[in-house]
Amino acid sequence: MLNGKVVVLGVTGSIAAYKMANVASALVAMGTGQNDIKVSIK
């Protein structure tokens, strides 16, 4: 169903970051593409 699709996940908080690892793993297992973008705002 998600083969070849691109999904953008935005994470802004610590609890969201903790939970998002499982979501990202499941999406990759479903065949979505994976690109990592790391942004640090100070």
Span 7-29, pLDDT tens digits: 787 777 778 778 888 888 888 88
What pLDDT was estimated at residue 28?
Answer: 83
What pLDDT was estimated at residue 18?
Answer: 81
Alpha helices in 1-42 (DSSP H): 14-29
Task: Give the pTM.
Answer: 0.59
What pLDDT was estimated at residue 20?
Answer: 83
Q: In which domain, by residue range, is 2 found?
A: 1-42
Give the total number of structural domains in the chain: 1
Q: Which amino acid is at 6?
A: V
What pLDDT was estimated at residue 32?
Answer: 82
What pLDDT was estimated at residue 30?
Answer: 85
